[in-house]
Amino acid sequence: MGLGVMTWWGLKGIFSDRRFLLSVIVGMLISLFTIPLLMDAVGRFKEGNLLSALPISEKMVKVAVVGEHPLIAELENNSMVEIVRVDEETAMRLLNEGKVHGVFIVNATSGRFIGRSIPLSNLAESAVKDAVDKFMRKDNKLLFNLKSDLGLEELLRSLLAPFLMLTPLFIWSLPVIQSVAYERENKVVEVIFASPTRRVEVLASKVLSNLIFSMLLGAVWMLLVPFFGLHFSNPIGVYVILISMALLVIMMNALVSSIASNANEATLASSISSTIIITLFFSIAILKVFPATEIAAKLSPATYIAEQVSGQGTPFPFNLMLVIYIISATAFLLALSAFSTESFAFSLKPGLSQLYEGMMEILRSKNKAAFAMGFVAFSITLPVELVAIGLTFFLIGPSAFLLLLSATAAEEGLKAVALNVLKPTHLKEGAVLGALVGLAFGLSESLLLAPVFELMILIRIAPIIVHSVCSSIVGAGYAKRYFALSVILAILLHMGYNLYLIRYAMGMR
């Protein structure tokens, strides 16, 4: 069986599951109808209180009204308040019994509010004052037009848009779990493995059929979304981002399905990995809120979608897409490594060393495996670095030195883990393998951080060399049984370079 035939077979499998298709359509419809509701809620976010955007305070307070005045109609219009019309004696009794939050005694010329000295009485009183204000002014015009403050509102709108756009990916990328983890449990893959088909083709066909399915749904999604209020400056660019993200999530699902020991575990791990991916990119996109970290927000594809929603014609982030493809390819390689191990057939969770064995079977060269491990280390580094920086920030404080040290330690630590798996046996081999791990890591990092793709090598040559040298030291240290010492040395060297770079940049400024 060829790749094409198996992909077609996979696609037929996805499309023949009508109940799944129906669920996907219902999920997309719910997401579509959520867009105008959420955007409307953001539109109502104008009075300095996010809560005013959501109907959460429905009939939260109860006010006993004594007397008649046309302004009571205004009070009745407030959805937060429930009013009871009673005489003064009953009103005071209700107040003392705690059955109302306040009493409003009103006549033609005056009004008096009596509370119960509890916070909810203040909320009831503010509603009464709003009603008096609206009625007496005869219009709703506020002194300050907070509606015109588009700063926070637009920011929130553009930040939520990518989140809404990417939500359906969770469901679109489920078929690959079904076809890897579930087919293994049903022993279907054993039949496929018995046929003269290469395992790479089997896994690739499963990923491809899910990707084609996502591409079709993505096209439908992009056609429908503008009707629900999300418009993009460059819809094709947004579509490419959407599909690239789908590819990443599918690859991650393929990886967790190949590693997990059963389908349930695969599903749980997939929801965790998808949540981490979306949350990670969303968190990075939020960095644009702070001027000092605005530039870092460019590291998230969500930022591009946000910019497209707010009508900015920003250039397509080619380098960022390349990084996403590198991470996807790395996930595929790892998935294939797990898929190729004996553990996969026996539904056992492979360890790191078994994954490495699987990788060696595919690549057939320790140097190539080292280069691939560099990409693996880089793929994990972003979330690990964020956690390390976050922990340092919350536990110690915003010390620039410690934040930089935690990021550096995370990078060198992950490269060291890769070398620990490669297990170089003598000095020269350790240095070469380390250099290759560092080279792959440095190249990926440069792709992500280079301001212009064409200038990547020119600007980033020094950091690539630093990564290679540091890892080379760790590799040599491992071979000579000075692993911990070599890791500390690599961290210090890398840190020294980073500090020099920062001082240089500050001097330039």
Partner 1 sequence: MNIIEKELREILGDRAFLGSIIVQFITISMLLFLYDTYSEVMHSPNLNGKVIVAVDKNNTELISRLEDSGVKVILQNASGFEKPNAVINTTTGEVKTDPGNIFSGFAIAKINSVSKAISFDEALQKGNFSYSSENLAGGNTDFVEMGYGLIVPIALVMPAMVGLSLSIQNILSERKKRTIELLLVSPISDFDIAFAKTAPYVLSSTICGSAWLVVVMQKIPVYNAPLLIIAELLLSLILVSLSVLISASARSIQEANVLSSLAGMIFVFSILLPSSYASLYLPTILISRISSNFPDEGIVIGLALLAAAGLLCFWLAVKGVGRMRRSYS
Q: Of residues 280-309, which lie at the interface with partner 1 (CB under 8 A)? A: 289-291, 294
Measured CA to CA, the distance from residue 61 to residue 108 in angstroms comes to 24
Residue 349 binds partner 1 (CB under 8 A): no
Tokens of 130: 């709003």
Q: Which of residues 243-282 bind partner 1 (CB under 8 A)?
A: 262-264, 267-268, 271
Residues 6+ apart with CB under 8 A from 272: none
Q: Give the nearest distance from C-beta 367 to partner 1 in angstroms.
A: 40
DSSP annotation of 180 reads I
Q: Which of residues 183-202 bind partner 1 (CB under 8 A)?
A: 185
Quick one: 83 or 333, whose CB is closer to partner 1? 83
Residue 5 binds partner 1 (CB under 8 A): no
Quick one: 117 or 195, whose CB is closer to partner 1? 117
Measured CA to CA, the distance from residue 504 to residue 329 in angstroms comes to 35
Contact predicate 376/336, CB 8 Å? no
Q: Which of 2, 5, 12, 23 binds partner 1 (CB under 8 A)?
A: 23
Long-range contacts of 105-110 (CB under 8 A, 24+ apart): 105/66, 105/67, 106/65, 106/66, 106/67, 106/68, 106/69, 106/71, 106/72, 107/67, 107/69, 108/69
Quick one: 59 or 85, whose CB is closer to partner 1? 59
* Coil/strand/helix, residue 452: coil
Residue 210 binds partner 1 (CB under 8 A): no
Quick one: 58 or 454, whose CB is closer to partner 1? 58
Q: Which of residues 68-97 bind partner 1 (CB under 8 A)?
A: 79-80, 82, 97
Q: Give the nearest distance from C-beta 126 to partner 1 in angstroms.
A: 8
| Beta partners for residue 62, in sequence order | 82
Q: Give the nearest distance from C-beta 397 to partner 1 in angstroms.
A: 16
Residue 24 binds partner 1 (CB under 8 A): yes
Q: Which of residues 127-166 bind partner 1 (CB under 8 A)?
A: 129-130, 132-133, 135-137, 142-146, 148-149, 151-152, 155
Q: Which of 3, 86, 92, 114 binds partner 1 (CB under 8 A)?
A: 114
User: Per CB under 8 A, which region of 14-22, 202-210, 330-338, 405-413 contacts partner 1?
Assistant: 14-22
Which uninterrupted H or E stretch holds 354? helix 352-363
First to last CA, the chain: 61
Q: Give the nearest distance from C-beta 498 to partner 1 in angstroms.
A: 25
Q: Give the nearest distance from C-beta 138 to partner 1 in angstroms.
A: 8
Contact predicate 74/32, CB 8 Å? no
Largest Cα separation within the chain, whole Å, is 96
Q: Give the nearest distance from C-beta 72 to partner 1 in angstroms.
A: 13
- Three-point CA angle 16, 17, 21, nearest 5°: 105
Quick one: 171 or 501, whose CB is closer to partner 1? 171
Measured CA to CA, the distance from residue 95 to residue 120 in angstroms comes to 13
Measured CA to CA, the distance from residue 86 to residue 248 in angstroms comes to 63
User: Per CB under 8 A, which region of 34-42, 222-230, 237-245, 350-358 contacts partner 1?
Assistant: 34-42
Quick one: 219 or 289, whose CB is closer to partner 1? 289
Residue 391 binds partner 1 (CB under 8 A): no
Quick one: 167 or 197, whose CB is closer to partner 1? 167
Q: Which of residues 46-65 bind partner 1 (CB under 8 A)?
A: 47-49, 51, 54-62
Residues 6+ apart with CB under 8 A from 257: 176, 177, 180, 181, 263, 266, 270, 335
